[in-house]
Amino acid sequence: MIDQARIRVLSVDNHPLLREGIATIINDQPDMLVVAQAADGREAIQQFRAHRPDITLLDLKFRDISGIDTMIAIHREFPGARIVVLTIFDGDIDIRRALKAGAHGYLLANRPTCVPSGRHGIFYAGQFLKEASPGRNINYMEFWAGYKF
């Protein structure tokens, strides 16, 4: 049985080692729990339907459908879904497309500061975007993943 007081996370990445690392970090937090993992977009949609996570960590590139298309499909069926992109892709176009598709945050997996730090620091993305991409033309916002504490 899942503890309802914990933030339930779905981790979606095509690299098993990265998924396991994310699960280890998140599950070490006393108020967070990875409830499911997926290796591609179609599996992510299935796992979202099955588990209805509080937060989904989603990569952008998969072999079947893109992370953007995955996010759009999830939001179409579950408009309140909170999805945070966790990827190595830091290009302006990727960031703009993700935010336009409804991402609640955009974190860079190759930055040590992207690690969630429990309920009070979960997925704060604005500062990471600023640190990761100084001088870019995007008007970065500071925002939370929409989780109400």
| Vertex 146: Cα angle to 17 and 74 (nearest 5) | 60
Q: What is residue 92's predicted lDDT score, i.e. its pLDDT?
A: 81
How many angstroms separate the CA atoms of 96 and 89, rounded? 12
User: What architecture is the 7-132 domain classified under in CATH?
Assistant: 3-Layer(aba) Sandwich (3.40)
pTM of the model as a whole = 0.76
Residues of the chain with pLDDT under 70: 1-4, 111-149
User: Are 93 and 46 in contact, with CB atoms under 8 Å apart?
Assistant: no
Which H helix or E strand runs over 67? Answer: helix 67-77
Asked whether the beta carbons of 145 and 105 are under 8 A apart, the reply is yes
Output the pLDDT for position 120: 42
For 41, 93, 110, the CA distances from 132, given in Å and listed in that order, are 26, 15, 9
Find where tokens 């981790």 sit: 11
